[in-house]
Amino acid sequence: MGAVLAVVGGGWWLLPGSGDPVPAAATTAAASTTTPAPVSTVAPAPVTSVPVTTTPAAPTTTPVPTTPPPPRPAPSTTAPAPAPAPAPAPAAAPAVPTADPGVEGEVVALVNAERAAAGCGPVAADAGLAGVARAHSADMRDRGYLSHTTPEGLSPWDRAAAAGVTGASAENIAQGYGDAASVVAGWMDSPGHRANILDCSSTRLGVGVAPGPGGPWWTQLFGR
């Protein structure tokens, strides 16, 4: 899969395949080498990317508590023993690549440069929004999808509310872009994602990146 973009916000949703196409990053691919295809949804919320804009009323921006999917049990093994022995400790789950705060901060800086050029004030990095964004990027990676809505039907606003985060207004997502500069460029080349980035009413931004095969997966969650 090539790089992909998606957007949510302003009371409208632009789903994969119905948005503006964006170029895939030259250094990354999602699962093949196909050209990035933008995906958008409603509300001010990329190789894959998606924007969201609005407040907890409508998406590329929308907010309902969600129940995390049951953990996938890791296989465990027990060595044979001639005599009864204490049960072995459960096998440790394999390590999962973690977020890169440096890259996430670079996305915020690049967004603020674009906003300054457009006459908008900067957005401040927000830890709460970043937590929701990181969780969504990791979930998309772990369960193999690219959408503003989870397989259970939870929107960005639902996910934010479940985490106790208020004021989420728009979301952009993407997959396969290899670095901060390429994913921001991909978003800026897509009208819906660009609108979320250049919404002057946004004052906060959380960025989450989840590395892994077929990725990275990126999420921007804006707030007011």
CB 142 within 8 Å of CB 150 = no
CB 91 within 8 Å of CB 77 = yes
pTM exceeds 0.85 for this model: no
Domain boundaries, the chain: 102-223
The per-residue pLDDT for range 182-214, each reduced to its tens digit, is 999 999 999 999 999 999 999 999 999 999 999
**What is the β-pairing status of strands 124-125 and 12-14?**
unpaired
Give the mean pLDDT of 97-109: 82
What is the dotted CATH code of the domain comprising 102-223? 3.40.33.10
Alpha-carbon gap, residue 65 to 29, rounded angstroms: 33
Alpha-carbon gap, residue 19 to 22, rounded angstroms: 9
CB 52 within 8 Å of CB 220 = no
The per-residue pLDDT for range 34-73, each reduced to its tens digit, is 334 344 443 444 444 444 444 333 333 333 333 333 333 3
- Chain Cα centroid distance, residue 84: 48
The per-residue pLDDT for range 147-182, each reduced to its tens digit, is 999 999 999 999 999 999 999 999 999 999 999 999
